[in-house]
Amino acid sequence: MTEVTYYTQEGLDKLKEEVHYLTTTGRQLISKAIAEARDKGDLSENAEYDAAKEAQGLHEAKISKLKSTLASARLIDESKLDLTKVLALSIVKIKNVKNGATMTYQLVAESEADLKTGKISVKSPIAQGLLGKSVGDKTEIEVPAGKIEFEILEITR
């Protein structure tokens, strides 16, 4: 059974757009590549044809995986999020207790994670260490560089 994944409206829309693109334009491009390779003659010695057929298989596998993800995707109603503790989709401002550096992260589904925009996966070590905590709580989180103690300064959505 596929694991249920929670998405923002934006993330769910992007997932649907990607599936739509791959099943329409993407399939058309692959079919065209196969047809062009087939037109080049003997299929038994046609590396271009073999490559196009392999690309088609990978493309279909990706569509299948994304459709499975979409089938188990759930939209979170952001207006009903509990702001007293860190949950999926929470925006959390934290402070590194040791050096005083502050960071703000939004905890999102793995496929929506983008560190450049401050979105981290709920499955990441930092997010796992923050889940369920409240403002003022301190938590020690194991990261690749060792253990870091963070204090939760603010929780918003």
The whole-number pLDDT of residue 78 equals 66
CATH number of the domain within which 100 lies: 3.10.50.30
For residues 46 and 40, the answer to whether their CB atoms sit within 8 Å is yes
The values of phi and psi at residue 15, to 5°, are: -60, -45
CATH number of the domain within which 28 lies: 1.10.287.180
For residues 55 and 99, the answer to whether their CB atoms sit within 8 Å is no
The whole-number pLDDT of residue 39 equals 84
Tell me the residue type at 70: L
Identify whether residues 69 and 119 lie together within a single domain.
Answer: no
- How many beta carbons lie within 10 A of that of residue 83, not counting itself? 14
Identify whether residues 136 and 86 lie together within a single domain.
Answer: yes
Identify whether residues 83 and 148 lie together within a single domain.
Answer: yes
Identify whether residues 11 and 52 lie together within a single domain.
Answer: yes
Identify whether residues 64 and 11 lie together within a single domain.
Answer: yes
Identify whether residues 13 and 56 lie together within a single domain.
Answer: yes
pLDDT digits (tens, 9 = 90+) for 48-89: 888 888 999 999 999 999 998 888 888 877 666 667 888 888
Full residue range of the structural domain in which residue 17 is found: 5-75
For residues 98 and 140, the answer to whether their CB atoms sit within 8 Å is no
Q: Which of 50, 75, 100 is at the close of a domain?
A: 75
Residues in the chain, pLDDT under 50: 1
Give dist(CA 150, CA 144) in Å, integer.
15
Identify whether residues 107 and 118 lie together within a single domain.
Answer: yes
